[in-house]
């Protein structure tokens, strides 16, 4: 079973799954409910089928109950008839889930080899771009950490039309180890909301996650 990371964090848990199974195996692991079977029958692309099934297989591993993943109008996932909050991310061949019982979580994963340098100015502020470019050989890696961090925060925030370069700010140290934490901020109307973010390099994947109290968006 390709569960390559499972860890308790705060009032919740994260899991990372490498999708290496065939569809027949994933169908057994996903343990689909009748509504899920109907949804699955409408998926045609093989890679999308595997991704969709692996997401539910991972959820079953973290919570051994038959839960439905539903989606808010803004696209954020939630668990039907369950108070636990969920965030999901996928990158080529990998699925990640974070669960939180008392806060709004966000998680993002990317292949460490992904190149984002050419689009850095689209999601980084000038200060963040300067930090990333302090050492040329580490520039892309630092940008990737920023990207995943901003994506994770974006998934926590119940708003649309967010500008990554200006609405989400990341304070990342010059050195990036295999794991660690750093500070992020979402620029809310009542002032910046601080959010602690955690990261880890797992195999060929960068994982960034965090959570925030929902009440902070109702000040």
Q: Record the pTM.
A: 0.94
Per-residue pLDDT of the chain (219 residues; tens, 9 = 90+): 589 999 999 889 999 999 999 999 999 999 999 999 999 999 999 999 999 999 999 999 999 988 999 999 888 999 999 999 999 999 999 999 999 998 999 999 999 999 998 899 999 999 999 999 988 888 999 999 999 999 999 999 988 889 999 999 999 876 778 899 999 999 988 789 999 999 999 999 999 999 998 766 654
Same domain, 174 and 196: yes
In angstroms, the Cα distances linking 169 to 13, 89, 101, 114, 185 are 25, 20, 26, 21, 5
For residue 42, give the CATH number of its domain: 3.90.470.20
Statement to judge: residues 80 and 112 lie in one domain: no
Same domain, 138 and 177: yes
Joined tokens for residue 51: 């991704």
Of the three residues 102, 131, 152, the one that is the final residue of a domain is 102
89 and 36 within one domain: yes
Are 146 and 189 found together in one domain?
Answer: yes
- Statement to judge: residues 98 and 114 lie in one domain: no
Domain span holding position 188: 108-218
Alpha carbon 159 to its chain's center: 17
Q: Work out how many domains the chain is built from and give that number.
A: 2
Do 157 and 176 belong to one domain?
A: yes
């Amino acid at each position: 079973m390709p569960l390559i990371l499972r860890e308790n964090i705060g009032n919740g848990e994260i899991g990372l799954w490498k999708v290496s199974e065939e569809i027949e195996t994933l169908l057994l692991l996903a343990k689909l409910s009748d509504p899920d079977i109907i949804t699955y029958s409408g998926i045609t692309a093989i890679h999308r089928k595997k991704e969709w099934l692996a997401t539910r297989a991972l959820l079953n591993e973290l919570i051994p109950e038959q839960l439905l993943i539903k989606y808010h109008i803004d696209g954020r996932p939630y668990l039907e008839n369950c108070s636990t909050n969920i965030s999901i991310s996928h990158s080529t061949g990998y699925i990640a889930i974070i669960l939180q019982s008392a806060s709004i979580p966000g998680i993002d994963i990317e292949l460490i080899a992904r190149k984002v340098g050419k689009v850095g100015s689209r999601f980084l502020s000038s200060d963040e771009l300067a930090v990333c470019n302090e050492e040329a050989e580490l520039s892309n890696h630092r940008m990737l950490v920023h990207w995943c961090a901003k994506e994770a925060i974006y998934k926590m925030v119940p708003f649309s039309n967010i500008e990554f370069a200006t609405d989400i700010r990341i304070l990342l140290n010059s050195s990036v180890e295999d794991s660690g934490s750093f500070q992020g901020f979402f620029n809310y109307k009542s002032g910046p909301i601080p959010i602690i973010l955690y990261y880890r390099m797992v195999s060929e994947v960068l994982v960034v996650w965090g959570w925030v109290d929902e009440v902070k968006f109702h000040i």
